Every structure is written in structure tokens, then in C-alpha cells.
Chain A
Amino acid sequence: MKKLVDFVKPAAILLIVAAVVALVLGLVDMVTRDRIEAIAAETKTNAMKAVLDADSYEELTLENAPADVDEAYTAAGGGWVVQVTESGSQGSITLMVGVSPDLTCTGISVTDSSETAGLGAIASQQSTAGENFRSQFVGQSGTVAVTKDGGSINALTGATITSRAISAGVTTALALCETLG
């Protein structure tokens, strides 16, 4: 009989501790969930507004879209916002691309990336260098490429791969919008 107690007691204590932890986490989650969701939504709207300003956006259902396109929205005032994910040098880069009705890029915003700090990460930073890099994409159309590949985008120093991935993302978004008409 003693054996059974020896076996059950530790298990029971572990279970109780786990249950208490789960309960506390559930409570914290209840408190923070709304806020976290609100922040996520706000970040997204801000990113969309930054690339193509409009009062509202309507999500499109995409069929046969390229694999790197996540979502696409039509902006209330005309034009589209496309979210694409490309593989960069350290992981995937998610960016919002604004496209005007005449199929030129109105702006880009990197919403999620894990590029090398100080090099590729500049693409997503709110710094002069970041702004300068991103503003190059405004007004681009057709196939967008870095100067090394015969395009007109000056790649970030030491981050050709990141710059290429972003150019590819913009190209994909522009091509998608062409099919959307």
C-alpha cells in the first residue's frame, strides 16, 4: 500500500501545481487578450494606412494567388493593399504593399521580419536609412529589382538578400493587382 502512495503523491502534487498554473494563466489571458488583439489590429491598420491611405479596406477572397501572397484588400478610395511574405536572409519577411489603380507602388511597410540587426533589419526600422530605402519603391511598376539585378532599387548595404526579397514581394504584389484589374 505504501508503494502506491509513494507513486500517487508526487503525481498528485505535480497535477495540482499544473492546475493552479493553468488557472492563473487563464485569468491573465482573460485580462490581456482583448488588448493584444486590439494592438494587433491597430498595427495592421497602421501599416495599411502607411502604404495607401484610405478610410476603410475590404478583404478580397483570392483564388489561384501566388503562394507568397497572404492577403489582399481593396482600399475605399481605389487601389489595393497586398500582404506578401518572402523568405529573406534570416527568415521570412512579411510586408504590406500599397498599389494604386494605375498599378504603381504607393509605398511599402515591413510588418514582420527577423533580418540581421544593423543590416537587413534597417528595412523595417523607423530611421532615415529605413525611410530612404522604403521610399525607393514608391512609383515603381512592373518588375522591381535591385541595381545588381538590373533594376533601380539601391540595395541596403550588406543586405542584398533582404533587398531582393522585398523587391520580389513588391513585384508579386504588382502582378497580383494586375490580375485583379
Chain B
Amino acid sequence: MFASIVTISLAAILTNNFIFSQFLGICPFLGVSNKMSTATGMSVAVIFVMTMASAICWVINQFLLIPFGVADFMQTVAYILVIAVLVQFVEMFLKKAIPSLYSAMGIFLPLITTNCAVLGVVLLNTQNSYNFLESLVDGFTGGVGFTVAIVLFASVRERLQFADYPKAFEGFAICLVTAALFALAFMGFSGMKIPV
């Protein structure tokens, strides 16, 4: 049990990082990584939504979709609705509790709904038939992996403003090239495993 949890965490954060090796959640990753403060704010929201979504979707799948025999074709629809509602909830909460963070994240908050890392993690949980705890851990550490990637990247991107590169690479293009180097670095983690 312990071993599988450590393995899942390690994979989600380093070896199989959602952004740098699975290409999930690239849009918000590029969108909010230009400033450290928005990057961290976004990460917290993503960690929360991913953990909650993993837990709720597991319950829905086990106790609603599978017993009624509709898991094959209603999974995607049900999951995305859960995520949409959750995001709405986070948005309402932030608006009331931390208005400054709410205004900083602006349009990216509703975009968590369309963050493929969130839907990705719940779909992968189901595909790998993780149990409740494993799903929860995968959701949480997946969010942590997203945070690691986005915070690392934001710190590099803040310096990118002062770099001298061809004008054609302005905007997302140079970011993608930078991300490519990150991906190469993260490949170094591949195959890392806990001896059981």
C-alpha cells in the first residue's frame, strides 16, 4: 500500500510530470506562468480542484456509474460536470475570501475546467483502476507536479524578458522552446523507482 502510494507520487511529480512528460495542462501552464504570483495562485487552485475531483469522481464512478452499468459511455460526461461544478465553487469561494487573488487570476480560473490535467488525472485514475486512496494521492501529487513545473517555469520566464532572442520567437514560441529544455531535464528522472 505504502509502496504504491510512494510510486504514484513520484511518478506524478517527477517521472511522469503532467506537463513535461504527459502534455496535460499546457494552456494554463503557458497562460499564467509569466508572473510568479499568479503562477502560485493558479497552482493552489489546481491542487485543490485536482484532489477534490479525483475523490468525487472515484465515488461517482464506483457507486453511481458502475452499478447502473453506464460507466463506459457516461464517464466523460459525468467527470467533466463534476469538475465544472467544483471550479464554480472555488471561484465563488475565492471571490468572497481572497478577492485580490481572484482578480489576479482573472480569466484563468474558469479555464481550470478546460485544464486537461484535471480531467486527465481522473480519467487516468479510472484507467489504472486506482482505489480511493490511490486516486486521492494521484490527484494531489499530480497537482503538486503541476505546481513544481509552473513555479520552476515562471522563475525562468521572468528572466526571459531580458533575454535576446529572434523576434519571431516572441510570446509562446520561446516559452515552448524553454519548456522543451525543461522536458529534456525531466527526462532524467525517468525510470526512477523505489525498490520494493
Direct chain A–B contact by Cβ atoms under 8 Å: yes
Asked if B73 CB lies within 8 Å of chain A CBs, one says yes
Asked if A59 CB lies within 8 Å of chain B CBs, one says no
Cα–Cα distance between A54 and B11 once the two chains are bound (Å): 39
If over half of A's interface residues share one DSSP class (helix, strand or loop), that class is named, otherwise mixed; here it is: helix
Asked if A5 CB lies within 8 Å of chain B CBs, one says no
Contacts of A58-75 to chain B: CB distance below 8 A: none
Asked if B166 CB lies within 8 Å of chain A CBs, one says no
Cα–Cα distance between A25 and B69 once the two chains are bound (Å): 13
Neighbour of B7 across the interface among A18, A26, A87, CB < 8 A: A87
Q: Is the CB of B73 within 8 A of A29?
A: yes
Cα–Cα distance between A28 and B77 once the two chains are bound (Å): 14
Asked if A90 CB lies within 8 Å of chain B CBs, one says yes
Find chain B residues with CB under 8 A from A21 CB.
77
Neighbour of B16 across the interface among A18, A22, A90, CB < 8 A: A90
Q: Is the CB of B193 within 8 A of A33?
A: no
Provided the pairs A87-B193, A89-B191, A90-B16 are in contact, do residues A18 and B77 lie with their beta carbons within 8 angstroms? yes
Find chain B residues with CB under 8 A from A77 CB.
none
Cα–Cα distance between A49 and B128 once the two chains are bound (Å): 26
Asked if B177 CB lies within 8 Å of chain A CBs, one says no
Cα–Cα distance between A133 and B65 once the two chains are bound (Å): 41
Provided the pairs A29-B72, A33-B72 are in contact, do residues A91 and B77 lie with their beta carbons within 8 angstroms? no
Find chain B residues with CB under 8 A from A50 CB.
none
Asked if A138 CB lies within 8 Å of chain B CBs, one says no
Q: Is the CB of A22 within 8 A of B191?
A: no
Cα–Cα distance between A85 and B44 once the two chains are bound (Å): 34
Interface string of B6-45 (1 = CB under 8 A from A): 0100000001100001000000000000000000000000
B190 to chain A, nearest CB (A): 5
Cα–Cα distance between A33 and B191 once the two chains are bound (Å): 37
B59 to chain A, nearest CB (A): 19
A115 to chain B, nearest CB (A): 10
Q: Is the CB of B73 within 8 A of A25?
A: yes
Q: Is the CB of A25 within 8 A of B77?
A: yes
Provided the pairs A18-B77, A25-B77, A161-B191 are in contact, do residues A90 and B72 lie with their beta carbons within 8 angstroms? no
Interface string of B55-84 (1 = CB under 8 A from A): 000000000000000101110010001000
Asked if A125 CB lies within 8 Å of chain B CBs, one says no
Q: Is the CB of A161 within 8 A of B190?
A: yes
A67 to chain B, nearest CB (A): 9
Interface string of B97-114 (1 = CB under 8 A from A): 000000000000000000
Contacts of B139-174 to chain A: CB distance below 8 A: none
Find chain A residues with CB under 8 A from B74 CB.
22, 25
Interface residues of B (CB under 8 A from A): 7, 15-16, 21, 70, 72-74, 77, 81, 128, 190-191, 193
Interface residues of A (CB under 8 A from B): 18, 21-22, 25-26, 28-29, 33, 87, 89-92, 116, 160-161
4 A-B pairs besides A87-B193, A89-B190 with CB distance below 8 A are A21-B77, A25-B77, A29-B72, A89-B191
**Could you name 10 residue pairs across A and B whose Cβ atoms are closer than 8 Å?**
A22-B77, A25-B73, A29-B72, A29-B73, A87-B7, A89-B190, A89-B191, A90-B16, A90-B190, A91-B128
User: 8 smallest A-B Cβ distances: which pairs?
Assistant: A161-B191, A29-B73, A25-B73, A89-B191, A89-B190, A29-B72, A21-B77, A22-B74
